[in-house]
Chain A
């Protein structure tokens, strides 16, 4: 890790993950319209039709396999594909909208070179060769003069499906999979207890198919029925099977409206709800103490003077003999301590008899069990306290806590609600504490985490990989956008595949200032987006419907392998990810390092799997099977954590976080959110909490240019009718949403579903789709003080923002 990242941060011991919470594509700004560019296909008597399949978006985790009809070379129809089980035959409005969307006016049609000032939108079309020669020459120049880390690639997870090697080809810095500040709020607080399972994104749950076994599914801050709408069937199957679907949300979301019960909550107070539930469970002896003793670190002794776990010796990092990587010591290597049946402190051994509660002096330390510290810490968090913070009646918190403790119960949180508040880590920690004290994990109907999307929670296929030559790799630089902007640390050259700067960067004006520090910006994308407004070169990539070979990709989808076939030829002058990467590779001396064809890549992905089920599977077999192939064992829902063994030092759930002692968060302790607190004096000027949420219409900033979706929705900021009235606003008025960070203009709509005192907007709308400005102009970019201790760092508190709204 280089000097560019925040000094001293080492996320040791945690599993790495590729970027999943990344930005996407899309935006407006047409040159030649698609209508003019493409010869219209007139209706003729006997049109030539073909059927081909592809898979759709990974960022909603639907990855629906789509059966596409092409007539006279144009995509004309999309249906769910024919799969091994009709459960997997899904599509949504976004998938269907591609019949128009891939031809949308804001497709980038040809390589473009900036001819005027940045932001002037003055571009001239250039040839691919001219663009690539100049881009590669300049990137090489920066690497030579300023080092490899002077070039930064920001690539969204969605783009990562199509671009495999770009950082290795460029040998440049990346944003890494950590410290990105998005989608990791709850997850970082939660997953530490699981030894990193869930990757800090809390992708550690069973499939939603398992919800039929739940008595309670407590959804908090997740609009599952919109953001995971192709899994809505599983939600209703559970509800119809008798699971009580309870949704906690400040707003009357679609998911809230379809649940058995909606519990409105003050924004940014999820943690207080969970703390209140913990107190009720402890006070009423509803905890599953057998589970706590057998499967958690809560019986372990803590030195009350330091808050540290008592160990046989001072913990050190060791090198794992198998993997060669650094890790914490196991409990065998450095024992934890417990109180035995006689009241003495003894080294912990699995299977021994020990006490959950007690005090003991050991080697000069006064020790208590972590359980007792939890119980003590919970004392202020009474039901009445939780009620006063959350605005949820105390008896309702008690009722939900009781149901949860009885189980089997699941807590389903998300990435678009409370995850965007500055105290999300505490909420995540509190949920895993609830899991730990009730044993709602590893059994049917239980679990806590982000249940988003079937692809992430379903089975995974151990597909292989294309091996790159030794030494062909990204450089060691990792940029952390949360700090780089304030610190004035910028690369010389920035290559964006996807719109990460706009998606990740709250307080957009800082991002614009950061762009000004960068000499050279290249955007590669199917669509124009926010960052493309600032690019020196804009290069057109294909969508997942276009390819220059018959087969373009194989990928794990929801419980099946999906195939990307050529549906249509690359549109305009767009090129595939592999073609673009090969052209870069040629110019960087790696001509023979990449697969020569996509088919060669697909063959390698299958044949190099270590699993005979996949390494004997061929592309031709998948083609013959409609472009999908079922994974193994999918008849039953994939269940998570059934062994109750975790990659923690003790292999138990470890919800006591000794690395968080300095912030008094060894056990979860209440801290309010950062800005959108009820009593913030800033409310006098900016009275509305700015809630930027996720929806069925878009994925991040993608699909804003889908014309068919515009029939149903265009960007609006929504206010409660009372807040409309007090501001003299009427539906469809153009308003300015503003605070000290900046402003943007958009139409307004009154909606009683919105909590009074909040302004709600769907995230991702760029300046191309708003009347003026980007909604990130106002969002909060504060990094909370616990950043150094939090597993993947503090989340960017996009919705922990106060604004005012006035008629423009």
Chain B
């Protein structure tokens, strides 16, 4: 079996949004949408902090689809458009998506974005990887774990571009993979652990 996953070292995450931009570019994500967002935890402004000056802390939290083993979005999808593939990734079959947005409501990570209108791009043209399928009005979309890259043995674009090398990608079912070794050697957490979603995005801190 293959279970593809990402680990994010929050100690190394500098909140630079390079991963978010890399994802947007690679996947032709339309204006006003991001598949991958970098949050400043506990703050209502970018690069804010928790606490009162000078007793402050700051933590950046990149959030995209968590590729849950027990995915709430998949369970509520009435058409089977959202599915878990043979590599453990949660994917969307855009042809089957009827735009009911049940998945959007079910996802506790707010990872999904919906094409309320025909997608617009400020560049006036498509960008990114030509292998990435186009989405149209009425279709849900989200992180695919860069399916078109990872199917071909490449890292997801967010991992490839991370300047701090805070992101590690690999196969959880391969005990020799870099990510498996990393997870064995470090304490990790999942987001919203108590939801029972069993994400395949791991946070090291």
Contacts and interface: CB of A to CB of B under 8 A. Distances in A.
Instruction: Verify that A and B bind, or say they do not.
Output: yes
Interface stretch (B70-78, B117-125, B168-176): B117-125
A91 B125 contact: no
Interface stretch (A73-81, A369-377, A645-653): A73-81
Contacts of B11: 236, 258
Interface in B121-161: 122-130, 134, 157, 160-161
Contact of A712 (B17, B56, B125): B17
A751 B15 contact: no
A756 B16 CA distance: 25
Contacts of A749: 45
A40 interface: yes
Interface in B5-50: 11-12, 14-18, 20-22, 24-26, 31, 34, 38, 43-50
B4 to A, nearest CB: 20
B52 A752 contact: yes
Contact of B14 (A96, A229, A754): A229
A14 to B, nearest CB: 34
A170 to B, nearest CB: 37
A91 B45 contact: no
B157 to A, nearest CB: 7
B178 interface: no
B163 A77 contact: no
A40 B51 contact: no
Contact of A92 (B16, B34, B46, B56): B16
A93 B18 contact: yes
A731 B44 CA distance: 9
B160 A79 contact: yes
A232 B163 contact: yes
B124 A93 contact: no
Contacts of B123: 34, 74, 99-100, 103
B46 A233 contact: no
Interface in B45-69: 45-54, 56-58
A43 interface: yes
B69 to A, nearest CB: 30
A233 B47 contact: no
B32 to A, nearest CB: 8
B54 A252 contact: yes
B53 A720 contact: yes
Contacts of B126: 41, 43, 76
B58 A753 contact: yes
A233 B163 contact: yes
A572 interface: no
A797 B173 CA distance: 57
A97 B125 contact: no
A91 B161 contact: yes
Contacts of B134: 43
A344 interface: no
A574 B46 CA distance: 36
A439 to B, nearest CB: 32
A751 to B, nearest CB: 5
Contact of A731 (B45, B49, B129): B45
A731 B124 CA distance: 32
B164 interface: yes
Contacts of B58: 252, 254, 257, 753
Contacts of A230: 163
A38 interface: yes
Nearest to A102: B123
B29 to A, nearest CB: 10
Interface of B, helix, strand, loop or mixed by DSSP: loop
A333 interface: no
A752 B51 contact: yes
B56 A753 contact: yes
A444 interface: no
Residue of A99, A264, A755 with most partner-chain B CB within 10 A: A99
A712 B62 CA distance: 13
A752 B124 contact: no
Contact of A77 (B44, B127, B164): B127
Contacts of A43: 126, 134
Interface string A189-233: 000000000000000000000000000000000000110011011
A80 B155 CA distance: 13
Contacts of A262: 54, 56
A70 to B, nearest CB: 11
A612 interface: no
Given A96-B22, A712-B20, A753-B47, A233 B164 contact: yes
B181 interface: no
B165 interface: yes
Interface string A739-764: 00000000001111111100000000
B173 to A, nearest CB: 25
Nearest to B28: A76
Contacts of B38: 712
Contacts of B50: 752
A35 interface: yes
B51 A91 contact: no
Interface string A747-784: 00111111110000000000000000000000000000
A100 B47 CA distance: 24
Contact of A96 (B12, B21, B31): B21
Contacts of A750: 45
A93 B16 contact: yes
A360 B7 CA distance: 67
B21 A77 contact: no
B56 A752 contact: yes
A71 B130 contact: yes
Nearest to A97: B21
B115 to A, nearest CB: 16
Interface string A35-62: 1001011110001010000000000000
A43 B135 CA distance: 12
A128 interface: no
A751 B40 CA distance: 12
Contacts of B17: 93, 696, 709, 712
A725 to B, nearest CB: 12
A727 interface: no
Contacts of A71: 130
A681 B15 CA distance: 39
B18 A752 contact: no
B161 to A, nearest CB: 5
B130 A47 contact: yes
Contacts of B21: 93, 96-97, 708-709
A700 B38 CA distance: 23
A720 B47 CA distance: 13
Nearest to B48: A751
A327 B101 CA distance: 76
B55 to A, nearest CB: 9
Residue of B12, B14, B46 with most partner-chain A CB within 10 A: B14
A258 B26 CA distance: 29
Nearest to B128: A77
B161 A752 contact: no
A374 B164 CA distance: 42
A322 interface: no
Contacts of B43: 751
Given A99-B127, A751-B49, A752-B52, A711 B34 contact: yes
B124 A40 contact: yes
B147 to A, nearest CB: 16
B18 A91 contact: yes
Nearest to B124: A35
A716 B46 CA distance: 11
Contact of A232 (B14, B20, B56): B14
17 contacts: A38-B124, A74-B123, A96-B18, A96-B25, A97-B21, A99-B25, A226-B16, A232-B12, A232-B163, A257-B58, A262-B56, A708-B24, A749-B45, A753-B49, A753-B56, A753-B58, A755-B53
The 4 closest A-B pairs by CB, nearest first: A35-B124, A257-B58, A232-B164, A76-B127
Given A91-B18, A755-B53, 14 more contacts: A34-B123, A42-B125, A76-B125, A92-B18, A93-B18, A230-B163, A257-B56, A708-B24, A731-B45, A749-B45, A751-B48, A752-B48, A752-B52, A752-B56
